[in-house]
Chain A
Amino acid sequence: MDLVSLSSTMLYSAFVLYLIATIFFSATIGKKRKESNKGIAGKIGITLTIIGFIAQIVYFITRWIASGHAPVSNLFEFMTFFGMTIVFAFIIIYFIYKLSVLGLFALPVALIIIAYASMFPTDIAPLVPSLQSHWLYIHVTTVSLAQGILTISFVAGLIYLIRQIDQSVRSKRTTWLEIILYSLILFVGFIVTTTAFNLMNYNATFEYPSGNNVLTSEYTMPAIAAPSDGTLITEDVMQPWFETPEWMHGVDAGRKFNTLIWSFISGSIIYVLLRLLLRKRIGAAIQPLLKGTKPDLLDEVAYRAVAIGFPIFTLGGLIFAAIWAEEAWGRFWGWDPKEVWALITFFFYAAFLHLRLSRGWHGEKTAWLAAGGFAIIMFNLIAVNLILAGLHSYA
């Protein structure tokens, strides 16, 4: 077996192992089960997680050897690595706090991110000159590690919110919590739609003007939104319903916008089905299962993860980034959208720490802030690459 297929097999195995581990972690909560059984389930869960993590490391190393450069150079590789650092951060935090319930939420987040990553081109691509630097590995791995740790803060905060928010009446807080859960489901929607249309081998080609050139855009999903001023070339496929607004710019803006619409449609369908099935808010449905968790411990994890992750983020996302930018472009800071959003992340977590340490924002306030921080991280990872054009938009 050659390295590339070994590498993808390993990634696939890691994915499956994380999935099974999640199931074991789900057996660590609830009222009916015996404590001893919960302990065993937790141990199996973490063991599987570690084996999965090792499998993913093998994926990483073999792909590195096969391509000749660290596999963190396009959206697929980077997001996959991000999933890996989430698992790594979870393993570390698990051994500090022995908190199994964290796995029940952290692993699905990692799973969603890895699945999301694999929706993008997975071919091994050569490094363009601007990325040919050992700072690529240093910068990207530290940023990603920091983001993985900060994600654990979000996970702990999310569990805290589900556990603590009063679900007996509908309130602003229950609504916001549902929005968080709904956003996670949108990713599932994206994965489901992409996979479905990939299996159908759907393809529609558009031509659209860009500056003085005419470009083509390959849609792999039925076009709801055509590219701005685009014309459909492929025959016998669905006609677009409307055009992407002109101000959405960037490479393939129309296709990306169309994908976004599909994700919203399918994600919303999944969410509505879940609501109909559960007959209550999703938060309210999960809440009783989490009665056994200690809120103050969750609060501590949500904060501690930021305390650990913030310095690493500063080092990787700002300082290493600046050193590299200085070497590559001769300017250590250039207000590129990705840089701006790294600064925003820095500001946000700086405010988070000041609010907690100086103004005594604990518990629920910390949990909401942890969720806000995660939203900013995801925005920087996904939206900045796909929407705001910049030096980092390699996907």
Chain B
Amino acid sequence: MEVEENPQLQTQPESSPMEVEQIDRRPAALGDLRLLPDEVLCAILTFLTPRDVARLSCVSSVMYILCNEEPLWMSICLDIANRQLQYKGSWKRTALDQLNVTFENNESCRKPLHFDGFNSLFLYRRLYRCYTSLNGFYYDTGNVERAKNLSIEEFHDKYDGQKPVLIAGLADTWPASTTWTTEELLKKYEDTAFKLSQRSRHKIKMKLKDYVSYIKLQHDEDPLYIFDEKFGETAPELLKDYSVPNIFKEDFFDVLDRDQRPPFRWLIMGPERSGASWHVDPALTSAWNTLLCGRKRYIIENQSLSFPVILSQGLAEYFS
């Protein structure tokens, strides 16, 4: 909503005693760099080393603000991480931990300074996205067919490679339908390290208990999620918790020798806001996907319809 005021009708005195003249720190504190939009400035900082960023934060107030942004430290941290990650409540702390900077005699993580006279729509929007809860976004328009007790023939005739379908009930008998919750998995696998979604040069792993602690503490726009194709090797017990449904038994990878088989099963776990961006699965493979806990939203581009189909997935439903 916008309000427009006619200046001639203004009855307020020119300068009310309550008004304090706001300084704008930007021109002086950014110098020539004020020409750049904030998103470009922030992108430039991601090319610096932690040491450079620490020094740059001492250059001026606005630099201090930009150099203490959590998304910047997340990017730095994922860049330098070379061992198992343990989230320390903020990405700056986590990065310093990876660099073996101790907190006791280092005060750099104490309460940050605040400066007035600076605002940035870019930083505000980004922060807003980091704190966005997705509860209000739940909707299921029912635009995808649902099926139960589907036979292999029916599946091939009606859906396979033709249109999306949600198949209910296939996981009801799996132990995983009750044991694959955060609490239950923690009991057995708290010290097992799982692989995280690829976001850096090195594959990063996190112990499950550290990952769950990260989930609870983080406020990332695009949080890290567990995406582990080796879970069957690191935690073979997990394989007993589910079975491949009959309609998906056919497996073309069977013609390959065992050691030549490409990655074919993944354990995925993530908090709200986490997920993959728009992509085509590698080698155009088909996959089945079961949701055991929480909810997941798919956006599928339908080439023949030329607009994306959005569907939300409820508990324990299949999607093909």
Do the two chains bind? no
